[in-house]
Each structure stands twice: as C-alpha cells, then as structure tokens.
Amino acid sequence: MSLFDLPTLLAYLAAATVLVLIPGPGTAWIVAQTVAGGTRRGLQAGLGLETATLIHALAAGLGLSALLAASAIAFEVLKYAGAAYLVWLGIKAWRDKPAMETAPSAQTPTLGRHVYRRSVLTGVLNPKVAAFFLAFLPQFVHPERGLVWLQFLVLGVLLSLIGFSHSSVLAFAIGRFGRRLSADARFARWRQKLIGTVFVGLGVRLAAQHQA
C-alpha cells in the first residue's frame, strides 16, 4: 500500500501552494535578505527556512510538535527565544555599517553559511510553525497506511520544494532590481534601516502571538 492516494496528494499540493503564496514572516525574511545581499543571499535564506520546514515536519511526525502545543511553558519559552533572536538581528542591522556590494557573486561562502544558519534558526524558533504543522499536516496523513513519521516527512519535503520555488522567484526578481541600486550609498543606509525594522517587527509580531 502506498503512503498516499492521488486525491489526497493533489489536495495537499493545492493547499500547500496557496499557503506558500500568502505573504507572511517568511516572505518578509526572504525579501529583507535579498535586498541586503542580492539573489544569492535570498536563495540561501530560502534554503535555510525550508530546512527548518523539514525539521518541523519531522518533529510533528515524531510527536514533538504535539508536546509543544500541549505545553504552554514550552510554547512561551520557544516563542520568546525566537522573538529575542529576531529583535537582536534587527538591532544589529541598524547598528552595522552598510556593505557596498559590487555584485551578489562577491559574497563569500562563510557569509552564505552564516545567512543559512540564521534562517534555519529563524524558522525553527517559531512555535507557530510547529503548531501549524500539528494542525495542517495530520489532515493529509493516514495512519492505516503505516510509517506515519515518513508521511509527515514526505509532506514536509513537498512543502519545502514549493516554498523554495516561491523563494527563488522572489530572490531573482528582487535581486535583479536591487543590483541597480547597489552602488547608491544613500540607498544602502536606508536599506540597513529597513532590514532592521523588518527584523524587529517580525520579533515583536512573534512575541505578541498566543498559543492556539
């Protein structure tokens, strides 16, 4: 017996696509990172967020998300940790001097890994994402077909692929526009302030969320 029947799989793909296209904190994160460092950085940020998606999907399959949703203390701890991390990124962006990049390809592998790690943490430290997986993915999981954890993981992989495709389109579109402004010192200063504001805003938004 296969893990999924075709109607269930098609319904999931349609729902996942709609959810990915709805603007949210993940979209804001991709936009901010692409504006800050070009297409390549936006792609690295998207890859990091989708890695976090896979982690949440696997955690949901193993029951960790259920534990998080049931424990108000665990939810609050993770929520405020994630919020504090985002606010710290925002303050850091405000204080750092803007880097004048001649081209997105000038980024070093070290910077790429740094952006990737930040993005993974940003996704993992969002308890609403864990709660979302607990509420959304089980609708398309059939325990009678066995290997429940694998069903969760497969659904997470599909969502990650859809999400990364969306992130790639954003990164390429915004990166192409951003290259025209990369040599403008005034734009670079406002860019840093905008990035900092976005990060702080995301942190405050996360801190204000309540457990469902």
Domain count, the chain: 1
- Tell me what pLDDT residue 210 has: 62
Residues in the chain predicted with pLDDT less than 50, given as ranges, are: 99-110, 183
Q: How far apart are CA 84 and CA 126, in angstroms?
A: 11
- Tell me what pLDDT residue 141 has: 77
- Tell me what pLDDT residue 104 has: 41
Residue 10 lies in a domain: no
The pair of three-digit structure tokens given for residue 43, joined into one six-digit string: 């792609």
- Tell me what pLDDT residue 51 has: 93
The tens digit of pLDDT for each residue in 18-37 reads 778 877 778 888 888 888 78
Residue 39 lies in a domain: yes
Residue 7 lies in a domain: no
- Tell me what pLDDT residue 161 has: 93
Residue 58 lies in a domain: yes
Q: How far apart are CA 194 and CA 175, in angstroms?
A: 16
Residue 55 lies in a domain: yes
- Tell me what pLDDT residue 192 has: 67
Q: How far apart are CA 159 and CA 17, in angstroms?
A: 8
C-beta neighbour count of 1 within 10 angstroms: 7
The chain-wide mean pLDDT, for the chain, equals 76
- Tell me what pLDDT residue 108 has: 47
- Tell me what pLDDT residue 202 has: 64
Residue 110 lies in a domain: yes
3-state SS class at 47: helix
